[in-house]
Amino acid sequence: MHTTYRLQANELNEDFINSLKALFHDKTIEIAVSDAVAQQGENAPLMLRKAGALAGRIKIGDDFDAPLPDFDEYQS
């Protein structure tokens, strides 16, 4: 599970910590902190990637795993 929160540092309080505890219970979690810069103003929406968005658009050739002729001398 991946959840991203974007908030001002002065908005952190015990309620936020308690909501994390309620959401994740006894699981081990990782918290990363970075200085977020909004691209289109301070209230820019957070864009998340959707898994499978390119499904069916990427084609891999049948010979993808075939040896490359450039490496023949190294494969002998």
pLDDT, tens only, 30-75:
888 887 765 455 566 666 777 888 888 888 889 999 888 888 888 7
Quickly list H helices, the chain. 14-24
pTM of whole model > 0.75?
Answer: no
The predicted structure's pLDDT at residue 62 = 92
- Asked if residues 4 and 48 have their Cβ atoms less than 8 Å apart, the reply is yes
Indicate the domain borders of the chain.
Answer: 1-76
**Burial per residue of 30-65, b for 16 or more beta-carbon CB atoms within 10 angstroms, e otherwise:** eeeeeeeeeeeeeeeeeeeeeeeeeeeeeeeeeeee
The predicted structure's pLDDT at residue 7 = 82
Tokens encoding 51? 């898994």
